[in-house]
């Protein structure tokens, strides 16, 4: 059976949990980095490809540092590095390892875009590209996101025949169900009108029978002339 001292421990536990939540809240709402929903992309040899990267921070940023790295099974290198002074400044490149790379992002108008374009693709460019961001305003908090690039000879065309057949079948079934519902409503309407007409006929027929039988509301029977 709990003692009297347990009543004082419960508020202390709640207080501790609340303080821990307040401590963790800035971490959960702080720096985020994204390379978009698609993390696996394909590009044709000899063409160019956009490698997207955006970041966000609920606390703003100052002298933010970013870099793109390349990693494959047998190589690792820093492709490009740069800084962003504040929300009103565009990214500034401080290091670039490959002339085929161009920074196309902008942080103006709250875009927070540090994407790059890689031109004249080669098969050896296949690998992982990681966008790293470090924000000194958040005690140098770091975050990163990775995208995998596969350089191919040509892009395969996706056969949508099966998808189109499925969509056609589903659409046909839905159309058939709608038609059945319409027919059902029409039949119910016709039956309702038929019943109403039958009811009117029965009422009319009942009135005629009463008239012929000389009931109240009917015509008076013609009596034969009385004999003198």
190's enclosing H/E stretch is helix 161-213
Q: Does 116 fall in a domain?
A: yes
Domain of residue 112: give its range. Answer: 31-152
Residue pLDDT, tens place only, 11-31: 555 455 444 444 444 444 578
Examine the domain organization and report whether 167 and 111 are in the same domain. Answer: no
Examine the domain organization and report whether 58 and 119 are in the same domain. Answer: yes
Can you give the CATH number for the domain in which 101 is found? 2.60.40.10
Examine the domain organization and report whether 110 and 166 are in the same domain. Answer: no
Examine the domain organization and report whether 139 and 47 are in the same domain. Answer: yes
At residue 26, the pLDDT reads: 45
Total-model pTM: 0.58
Going by DSSP bridges, is the β-strand pair 40-44/141-152 parallel, antiparallel, or unpaired? Answer: parallel
Examine the domain organization and report whether 148 and 168 are in the same domain. Answer: no
Residue bearing tokens 């008076």: 220
- What's the CA gap between 107 and 90, in Å, rounded? 5
Examine the domain organization and report whether 70 and 169 are in the same domain. Answer: no
Tally the domains of the chain. Answer: 2
Residue pLDDT, tens place only, 50-104: 999 999 888 888 899 999 999 988 889 999 999 998 888 889 999 998 899 999 9
Hey, is 134 helix, strand or coil? Answer: strand
Examine the domain organization and report whether 132 and 173 are in the same domain. Answer: no
Q: Are 127 and 71 in contact (CB under 8 A)?
A: yes
Q: Does 226 fall in a domain?
A: no
């Amino acid at each position: 059976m709990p003692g009297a001292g347990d009543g004082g421990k419960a508020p202390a536990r709640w207080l501790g949990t609340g303080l821990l939540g307040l401590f963790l809240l800035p971490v959960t709402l702080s720096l985020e980095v994204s390379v978009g929903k698609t993390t696996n992309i394909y590009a044709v040899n000899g063409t160019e490809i956009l490698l997207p990267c955006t970041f966000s921070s609920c606390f703003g940023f100052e002298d933010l540092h970013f870099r793109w790295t390349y990693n494959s099974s047998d190589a690792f290198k820093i492709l490009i590095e740069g800084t962003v002074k504040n929300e009103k400044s565009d990214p500034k490149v401080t290091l670039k390892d490959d002339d085929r790379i161009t920074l196309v992002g902008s942080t103006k108008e709250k875009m927070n875009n540090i994407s790059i374009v890689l031109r004249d693709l080669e098969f050896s460019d296949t690998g992982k590209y990681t966008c790293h961001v470090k924000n000194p305003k958040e005690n140098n908090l770091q975050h990163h996101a990775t995208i995998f690039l596969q350089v191919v000879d040509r892009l395969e065309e996706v056969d949508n025949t099966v998808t189109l057949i499925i969509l056609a079948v589903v659409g046909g079934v839905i159309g058939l169900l709608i038609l059945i519902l319409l027919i059902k409503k029409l039949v119910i309407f016709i039956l309702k009108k038929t019943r109403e007409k039958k009811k009117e006929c029965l009422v009319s027929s009942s009135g005629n029978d009463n008239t012929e039988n000389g009931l109240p509301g009917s015509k008076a029977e013609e009596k034969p002339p009385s004999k003198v």
